[in-house]
Amino acid sequence: METLETISTHAAYDSKIEGNIIFTRVDAAINWMRKNSLWPMPMGLACCAIELMATASSRFDISRFGMEVMRFSPRQSDVMIVAGTVTYKMALAVKRVWDQMPEPKWCIAMGACASSGGMYRSYAVLQGIDKLIPVDVYISGCPPRPEALIEGLMKLQEKIDAEHSTEDQKRTFFEENA
Amino acid sequence: MPESAVAATDIPALREALREGILSEVEFRGENTLNLSLEALPKALEFCKHKLGYELLLDISSLDHFGDDPRFEMVYELASLDDTRHLRLKAKVSEDESVPTATHLWKAADWHEREVWDMMGIPFSGHPNLKRILMWEGYPFFPLRKDFPLAGRPTDMPDVAFTGVAPLEGGPFVTAPGAETVAKREPRARHQE
């Protein structure tokens, strides 16, 4: 009769399934899945949107990072790339699109205008999209090069990789039911 | 277009039609400008379009001579379709006056006049749809007036839009194009009066 220990040891070295099983944490698996298929919501508002389009095109090709699926429906998007000058007239529309995106969601402020209002210190321009929605990554530049946007997206991948969503859920659950 | 002012050939006809409606005439580098009284403006525009063949309204803009009376000034840029003649008409408007619309002459005047109304707050009489074109309905200020601060003023219309005050950090930063050295020409904070 085999003990439990020998069964598990045996299973791990079973030649039929060897190489097909990976041991990992739930968080690491979820993060790995999330970060490698970020679907961007292109919030193109000014010239930064041209660089955003260049980033998606063949020369720079963000499909290498699994991010090529630009969704014009916020309900199918994971990351909103605010590319350009956010005017006060547009600000609440941007907020509304953001609110329509399902969790988990991230936001990238691309370029000087989206980050801080940029050179537009004026009555018409919101002084940074972070006044309305939480921003995960800021990208400097006016407009940023596609390489800079790709680095921003890779920074976001690093950030997602370090998240503890299930652990946090578990902790909240135990705290609430303690 | 040749350097010589072709539009100058139209000036005598306008002079005869408008008489004392023309306050002064300016010719500068081949550009002809007529300064008109506001009363003469509608007649002048109609005469230019129907009699002189200025089919094209290039632009309508406005100036704010803050502190002067009359305060505002309208500027109309006219051209013929073959692009040989350009003519600029100007007329001063005081704060309590409204400008007769030019929409019945040129469809293009519609949006231009709405922009002037939106940014400068000069009303137009007879305009078919005089509402704001850039800012939203209900925005209480006219941003291009000289007494409106560059940084803006705070407003809030729930569910429509809001505005805040932009941090100028000692600005506005303006260039001095005529200065001797590059360092002096660069944008610097200059004190607002």
Condensed to tens digits (0 to 9), the pLDDT of residues B59-96 reads 999 999 999 889 999 999 999 988 888 999 999 999 99
Query: What is the reported pLDDT for B78?
Result: 93
Q: For a pLDDT cut of 90, what percent of chain A falls above it?
A: 63
CB of B161 less than 8 A from some CB of A: yes
Q: What is the pLDDT of residues A22-68, one digit of tens each?
A: 788 899 999 999 999 899 999 999 999 999 999 999 999 888 888 88
Q: Find, among B89, B77, B106, the residue nearest to B38 by Cα.
A: B89
The answer to whether the CB of A2 falls within 8 A of the CB of A137 is no
pLDDT above 50 for B156: yes
Rama region for B85: left / alpha / beta (φ>0; ψ in -120 to 50; rest): beta
Whether residue B193 is predicted with pLDDT greater than 50 in this model: the reply is no
Q: A126 and B164 in contact by Cβ < 8 A? A: yes
> Which pLDDT score is estimated for B2?
47
**A47 touching B, CB under 8 A?**
no
In chain B, which among 25-84 make CB contacts under 8 A with chain A?
A: none
Phi and psi based region of residue B126 (left: phi greater than 0; alpha: psi -120 to 50; beta: remaining): left
Strands B22-28 and B72-79: unpaired
When pLDDT is cut at 50, 70 and 90, the band that residue A119 belongs to is confident
Which tops the pLDDT comparison, A18 or B90?
B90
Residue of B100, B122, B84, B124 whose CA lies nearest to B46: B100
What is the mean predicted confidence (pLDDT) over A112-135?
91
pLDDT at B171 over 90: no
Confidence of residue B1 (pLDDT cuts 50, 70, 90): very low
Mean pLDDT of chain B: 88
Other Cβ atoms within 10 Å of A88 Cβ, number: 20
B148 contact residues in A (CB cutoff 8 A) = 123
Query: Given an 8 Å threshold on Cβ–Cβ distance, is A89 in contact with B161?
Result: yes
pTM for this entry: 0.79
Cβ–Cβ of B161/A124 closer than 8 Å?
no
> A146-160: per-residue pLDDT in tens?
999 999 999 999 999
User: With contact defined as beta carbons under 8 Å apart, do B71 and B119 qualify?
Assistant: no
**Mean pLDDT calculated for residue range B133-144:** 91
The distance of A87 to chain B (nearest Cα, Å) reads 9
Among A residues 128-157, those touching chain B with beta carbons less than 8 Å apart: 131
So what's the ipTM on this one?
0.77
> pLDDT band for position A14 (50/70/90)?
low
- B90-100, pLDDT tens digit by residue? 999 999 999 99
In sequence order, what are the residues at sequence separation of 6 or more whose Cβ sits closer than 8 angstroms to the Cβ of residue A165?
A27, A30, A31, A104
Percent of chain A, pLDDT > 70? 90
